[in-house]
Amino acid sequence: MSQRDGYFTLPYYIRLLQQALALGYKFQTFSEYLEKPKDRVILLRHDVDVSLEYALELGRHEERLGILSSFFVRVRSSLYNVHEAINRERLEELAAMGFEIGLQEEAGRFAADYAEIIKLIKEDKESLEKILGKPIYGVTTHLPKWNPFKISPDDLDRTGFRYDPGGEIFNQNAIFVSDSNKCWKKYSLEETLGRFDKVLASLHPVWWVGKIKDPANLIKLLAEGK
């Protein structure tokens, strides 16, 4: 059984969360961690690359376990539209359950000039805040491998954000795990549990909830800016 076949199912995901709770891990959003960090903690992050439907399904399972995480959504995606009524409702439900909503910026795909990039990020922040009816504090770069712009600490100040989840304060004394491209990087989340007290987990709802068996076509679409 391949890594992709064996790991990426919803029942396995739920079992991982249950295992983490049994081992005494606390789950915090990134904003919560900034205010009052826990000692044995998992900072669980979901980059919503493809579908807010998938994000909400994952969030509902987490909420039943009493777990909070941070969802970073795209405003300029061609795969989903945050302004559609159904997606606004999904975002509102996630926020009502206590999940943190942040922005996946991809302004570097739409503007080459630095001033225009900053302007677009500010516009996307305001657009997402209008949907949620409250401020958002976190921003990350969508697909940094293909995005020519990488947000810096100075850019956070200029655009009105408090943090980037890849920032030093979160990574200090932490182990990072990711399911990028539906393949674990170095460690799987299960391998970190009980071995490390601080875990940063970047997990994408599409790999756990979606029915995509071969991710190659989706990865290609995302790389093309879809």
Q: Residue 213 above 70 pLDDT? A: no
**For 26, phi and psi rounded to 5 degrees?**
-105, 145
Q: Is 121 helix (H, G, I), strand (E, B) or coil?
A: helix
pTM of the full structure = 0.93
How far is Cα 57 from Cα 10, in angstroms, rounded to an integer? 10
Q: How many domains does the chain have?
A: 1
* Of 36 and 4, the one with more pLDDT: 36
Domain of residue 73: give its range. 3-12+29-44+65-223
- Is residue 80 in a domain? yes
- Is residue 50 in a domain? no
- Is residue 58 in a domain? no
pLDDT per residue as tens digits for the range 30-68: 999 999 999 999 999 999 999 999 999 999 999 999 999
CATH number for the domain harbouring residue 77: 3.20.20
How far is Cα 46 from Cα 172, in angstroms, rounded to an integer? 20
CB 97 within 8 A of CB 59: yes
- Is residue 193 in a domain? yes
> Average pLDDT of 193-208?
96
pLDDT per residue as tens digits for the range 165-198: 999 999 999 999 999 888 898 899 999 999 999 9
- Is residue 19 in a domain? no
Average model confidence (pLDDT) for the chain?
91
- Is residue 60 in a domain? no
- Is residue 55 in a domain? no
How far is Cα 17 from Cα 57, in angstroms, rounded to an integer? 15
User: What's the pLDDT band for 219 if we cut at 50, 70, 90?
Assistant: low
For tokens 């044995």, the residue is: 40
What does DSSP assign to residue 133?
A: T
How far is Cα 29 from Cα 26, in angstroms, rounded to an integer? 10
How far does Cα 131 stand from its chain's mean position?
18
- Is residue 127 in a domain? yes
